Structure 1
């Protein structure tokens, strides 16, 4: 990222070696208690001085093709857009996933003052203006082992379940059973068959099973929170 005009890092009071690594690249580091992914991204944007902001996670890498496209954007070739969606190549256990529904667009490039994030977990960019699309991509390395995936999803599903409880503290037995029994099976079918995850070999099968499992775990934790708060049988 040395080609960027400025690098701003937002750290949620991490306890590992994150800050030491970050200081090798920039002195613009914001530290505070973690307040949700949307709020973290908004904090970083407040300190940006440039016209365009590209939000990246620590496990994402900008490709040469995308860097060239960004330079063109900075030269004024923005087609009147206030934000852009771009491709994100997700690497699952060492393999770029072209099938299975995981080769999608990411929405984290925008003009300062024209957009902000909402949401604690699956944050969404709210844009005041036109949104364009670019086919250039960045590479995403979310985890390197199944153990790392399970550990991370255990944390995320807990946060998601609590966020869901705050917005909807009541649940019916019909709704919970549908999301525990039926929806995971439908998700597997969609990712493995409809989105052709089977073309990725063992990677595609494992990927489809795991993401159906994530939905199951999130709803099981949601049900547990609702039950513990006396909102259901």
Structure 2
């Protein structure tokens, strides 16, 4: 096995976790899972794969992922979500990359998104690269509660080690996540002191839909492409609308 740790943060993530852990186990012996109160089969599945489990209250995405990285036994860390699965060609690609003498500070991996069992090739989900394979000595996760990112001053390279991403089981799950993320994004806007104007919720929603559905060719993904573009637009609307509500409430 490589001197590589694979880390997860979870809460009720059983849906795809077994498949994800199986793909990660083929690459690294050290599996770390930081959980924030799962009540489904998440912890039982993690135990089946020999993952080291840490229980921790939820502080936000960035702090939770940074904590998970700090629990790893190795300095090279692959950060996976529980709904992401390493595709077969990813394992030899990562092994070959980490066997080299001179390495960057991290690698971006291509991510293939699926919805309703179909690959999404266009729109906002169609061209996706994520910085997930990192040298923890050269960076850390931002402290953002949502839309966290790995921050490093070192060079980052692209590596063809693809992930399959099974993000949502259905539209109901997508809308529930949209509501959660719009709360966090709105709070982030307000905390930054950003003044939201009354026209912005609709303006941002229309721009998001046009970009995803038209400019990025989301219409070529059929009804799934339309659904993704519409929910992305709704998420943008709710982010600014909720921020406007908070702003008005704070000014009273």
TM-score by length of 1: 0.91
Task: Give the counterpart of 1:82 among 83, 96, 105.
Answer: 105
Task: Give the counterpart of 2:151 among 105, 108, 126.
Answer: 126
Taking the aligned partners of 2:94 and 2:46, their CA distance within structure 1 comes to: 23
Taking the aligned partners of 1:138 and 1:27, their CA distance within structure 2 comes to: 20
Show the 5 A alignment for 1:97-176.
97-102=120-125, 103-118=127-142, 119-168=144-193, 171-172=195-196, 175-176=197-198
Specify the SS of the correspondent of 2:162.
Answer: strand
User: Cα RMSD between the aligned structures?
Assistant: 1.6
Specify the SS of the correspondent of 1:76.
Answer: coil
**Partner in structure 1 of residue 45 of structure 2:** 21
Task: Give the counterpart of 1:70 among 94, 110, 126.
Answer: 94
Taking the aligned partners of 2:181 and 2:48, their CA distance within structure 1 comes to: 29
Is 1:95 matched with 2:118? yes
Displacement of 1:82 in angstroms is 0.9
Specify the SS of the correspondent of 1:50.
Answer: coil
8 Å CA contact 1:8–1:26 kept in 2: the answer is no
More moved, 155-164 vs 214-223: 155-164
8 Å CA contact 1:161–1:219 kept in 2: the answer is yes
Structure 2 gap segments, 5+ residues each: 1-23
Task: Give the counterpart of 2:71 among 36, 47, 69.
Answer: 47
Displacement of 1:73 in angstroms is 2.0
Specify the SS of the correspondent of 2:167.
Answer: coil
Structure 1 gap segments, 5+ residues each: none
Task: Give the aligned length.
Answer: 226
8 Å CA contact 1:100–1:192 kept in 2: the answer is yes
Displacement of 1:125 in angstroms is 0.7
Is 1:229 matched with 2:250? yes
TM-score by length of 2: 0.84
Specify the SS of the correspondent of 2:124.
Answer: coil
Displacement of 1:23 in angstroms is 1.4
Taking the aligned partners of 1:43 and 1:19, their CA distance within structure 2 comes to: 18
Displacement of 1:74 in angstroms is 2.5
Task: Give the counterpart of 1:12 among 12, 15, 36.
Answer: 36
Displacement of 1:196 in angstroms is 0.8
Displacement of 1:27 in angstroms is 4.2
Specify the SS of the correspondent of 1:142.
Answer: strand
Taking the aligned partners of 1:17 and 1:158, their CA distance within structure 2 comes to: 27
Displacement of 1:93 in angstroms is 2.4
Task: Give the counterpart of 2:201 among 180, 200, 212.
Answer: 180
**Partner in structure 1 of residue 221 of structure 2:** 200
Taking the aligned partners of 1:163 and 1:30, their CA distance within structure 2 comes to: 27
Taking the aligned partners of 2:216 and 2:207, their CA distance within structure 1 comes to: 12
